[in-house]
Structure 1
Amino acid sequence: MDRKTVESANRGRLRVEVRTEGQSEVVTPRGELDHHTADLLRVPLDEALGQGRTRLVVDCSHLEFCDSTGLNVLLGARLRAEAAGGGVHLAGMLPVVARVFEITGAEAVFTVHDSLGAALAD
């Protein structure tokens, strides 16, 4: 299992772990996803897609906040993954993050799972 971690310059705001599990690239953001930290998630998603990994699973169970910039990062990754024949699966969203997806209607365009295990089993 290959694993790497990137962190935000604003200590503790966002850390992103990436690992490969079977056919899925699992990306785990921890902390706050916003205008200032969005590239920390965008870069590993883009790298995974650039390497031909088209099934992306974003483990949201440690994502404490997501604003519109973070949402746009995920939407952009979804479009690129689907264009390559794959998709983006969101797993384990905390209620505060799930609410952003519900309010914007974005939950309708993603495959959403209750847990990482469920997303990997799908």
Structure 2
Amino acid sequence: MDRGMPGSTSRGRLTVDVRHQGVSAVVTPEGELDHHTAELLREPLERCVADGYSRLVIDCSRLDFCDSTGLNVLLGARLKAEAVGGGVHLAGMLPVVARVFEITGAGAVFTVHDDLDAALSNVPES
């Protein structure tokens, strides 16, 4: 896969799809995000920011599970994106994943949208 090109990667219980839409990088993890699979998400998030996509939209609608390691990956991506004037937007979280954000209070530091369409329609002028 070309460094700057969207695509998919998979490792067992997690698949990560990356595509670009306007100024946003849309990252869709599918499956379980935990200490065994977290690196599979961390790498494309960091690559998106390095490639100039500081607005990261994480489509969580296919994410079945997220533990503290997965949460730390998203928090790290948020710091990197904010350092270059962007941010991380979470969209379509299933209740089991939303609960992790609620329990930890991490939901307060992300922009959370009901679904992907809402996240993509809320784009500042570039």
CA deviation profile, 1:3-34 (whole Å, cap 9, x unmatched):
300000x3xx0000000001100000000000
Report the counterpart of residue 97 of structure 1 in structure 2. 97
- Residue identity in the other structure for 1:17: D
Task: Point out where structure 2 has 5 or more consecutive residues left out of the alignment.
Answer: none
Q: TM-score, normalised by structure 2?
A: 0.92
Post-superposition, which runs of at least 4 consecutive aligned residues in structure 1 deviate over 3 A? none
Q: Distance in 1 between matches of 2:27 and 2:66?
A: 15
Deviations 1:53-109 (A, max 9, x none): 100000000000000000000000001100110000000000000000000000000
User: What corresponds to 2:114 in structure 1?
Assistant: 114
**Residue 52 of structure 1, CA deviation:** 1.1
Partner of residue 27, structure 1: 27
Change (3 A) 1:51 1:3: closer
Letter in 1 for 2:14: L
What TM-score do you get using the length of structure 1 for normalisation? 0.95
Structure 1: give runs of 5+ residues left out of the alignment. Answer: none
Quick one: distance in 2 between partners of 1:18 and 1:52?
A: 14
- 1:28-67 equivalences in 2 (<5 Å): 28-67=28-67
% same residue:
70
Counterpart CA distance in 2 for 1:90 and 1:112 is 5
Aligned to 1:4: 7
C-alpha separation between the residues in 2 aligned to 1:52 and 1:24?
10
